[in-house]
């Protein structure tokens, strides 16, 4: 099924969320796509607790508070969020509209695309070993989608954060689990840590201090993992390796859409923030222009100007009358109608 909207926003970070608001003021509806399982982008994923001091009028605000407030501000305009998926392909229709297709097979038809993808989408950080691709999906899992395939198998889980510990605790019930981390301290919820230590004491799991050095494929379908702790090398033969090294950001499929790029940033003009392709806009950290500053507040400004140009694509026959939220009865009605 194809869903229809005026604008597809790629990226639910602070600038993408504010774009919903600015477009909404002009009666433009939005669908928002993000690869994370929650809105907020870097603010919610990398530094939810860290204070930000340069949002106008906010003396100090945490990444999560900023996200929550932007979500509340956008809510009257009823945005539709498509989370945990990445835009894989876009296609121009004869009507000059766009079809946007995601990794979860969602297809959305829109008049404009607004790329607010920050430093790219968050993907699991991969182990920097040459030719590791041959083992991915087969023996190396960066996420557990189907627990049943791990039953009765020998696993090596690597990492010291919540994902590594939660999966160690969970999978210890059905699999032979070894947890490896580079030190004996963990950055995870105290509950998960004490549970894991208990499992280790009861010999339900093994804990090993070390780091991955190399991975080799074996004829029996398993993999041999060479691990190292200081100078001590240990070899492991396992069915699956589950590395949890957090997330990293990468531009992904956007790089292949024929937009003019400048060092992996999307070149835009400073009047409309439109890319080299008509009706595709780029705002926030992902764009570049002379004098660009990667600040959330610059992204907010870019969102407001972008919306003015989007209006022309969405309502080609209508005149855009500039109105303030302080004076427009119509806008006030919309904004207080939650």
Q: Applying CB under 8 A, which residues contact another protein? A: 42, 46-47, 50, 119, 125, 127-128, 159-161, 181-183, 185, 187, 211-212, 245-246, 248-249, 294
Query: At closest approach, how far in Å is the CB of 229 from another protein?
Result: 11
Measured CA to CA, the distance from residue 287 to residue 285 in angstroms comes to: 6
Query: At closest approach, how far in Å is the CB of 118 from another protein?
Result: 10
Q: Of 101 and 123, which CB lies nearer to another protein in the complex structure?
A: 123
Q: Of 10 and 119, which CB lies nearer to another protein in the complex structure?
A: 119
Q: Give a three-class secondary structure readout of 112-141.
A: EEEECCCCCEEEECCCCCCCHHHHECCCEC
Q: Of 125 and 153, which CB lies nearer to another protein in the complex structure?
A: 125
Q: Of 248 and 333, which CB lies nearer to another protein in the complex structure?
A: 248
Query: At closest approach, how far in Å is the CB of 246 from another protein?
Result: 4
Query: At closest approach, how far in Å is the CB of 300 from another protein?
Result: 18
Query: At closest approach, how far in Å is the CB of 50 from another protein?
Result: 6
Give buried/exposed letters for 20-59 (b at 16+ CB in 10 A, else e).
bbbbbbbbbbbbbbbbbebbbbbbbbeebeeebeebeeee
CB atoms within 10 A of CB 263: 6
Q: Of 71 and 247, which CB lies nearer to another protein in the complex structure?
A: 247
- Three-state secondary-structure class, residue 170: helix
CA distances from 287 to 78, 150, 235 (A): 26, 42, 46
């Amino acid at each position: 099924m194809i869903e229809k909207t005026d604008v597809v926003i790629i990226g639910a970070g602070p600038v993408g969320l504010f774009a919903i608001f600015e477009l909404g003021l002009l009666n433009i509806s939005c669908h928002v796509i993000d690869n994370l399982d929650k809105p907020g982008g870097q603010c919610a994923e990398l530094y939810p607790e860290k204070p930000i001091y340069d949002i106008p009028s906010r003396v100090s605000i945490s990444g999560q508070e900023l996200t929550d407030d932007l979500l509340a501000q956008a809510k009257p305009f009823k945005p539709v969020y498509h989370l945990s998926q990445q835009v894989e392909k876009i296609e121009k229709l004869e009507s000059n509209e766009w079809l946007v297709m995601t990794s979860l097979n969602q297809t959305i038809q829109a008049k404009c695309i607004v790329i607010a993808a920050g430093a790219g989408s968050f993907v699991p950080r991969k182990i920097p070993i040459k030719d590791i691709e041959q083992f991915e999906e087969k023996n190396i899992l960066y996420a557990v989608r189907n627990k049943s395939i791990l039953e009765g198998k020998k696993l090596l889980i690597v990492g010291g954060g919540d994902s590594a510990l939660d999966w160690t605790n969970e999978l210890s019930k059905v699999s032979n689990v070894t947890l490896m981390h580079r030190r004996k301290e963990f950055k995870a919820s105290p509950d998960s840590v004490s549970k894991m230590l208990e499992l280790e004491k009861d010999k339900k799991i093994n804990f090993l201090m070390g780091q991955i050095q190399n991975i080799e494929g074996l004829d029996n379908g398993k993999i041999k993992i060479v691990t190292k702790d200081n100078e001590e090398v240990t070899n492991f033969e396992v069915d699956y390796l589950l590395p949890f090294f957090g997330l990293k950001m990468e531009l992904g499929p956007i790089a292949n859409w024929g937009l003019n790029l400048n060092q992996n940033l999307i070149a835009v003009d400073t009047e409309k923030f439109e890319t080299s392709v008509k009706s595709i806009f780029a705002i926030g950290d992902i764009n570049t222009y002379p004098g660009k500053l990667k600040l959330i507040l610059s992204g907010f400004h870019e969102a407001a100007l972008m919306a003015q140009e989007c209006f022309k694509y969405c309502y080609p026959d209508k005149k855009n009358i500039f109105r303030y939220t302080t004076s427009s009865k119509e806008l006030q009605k919309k904004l207080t109608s939650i």
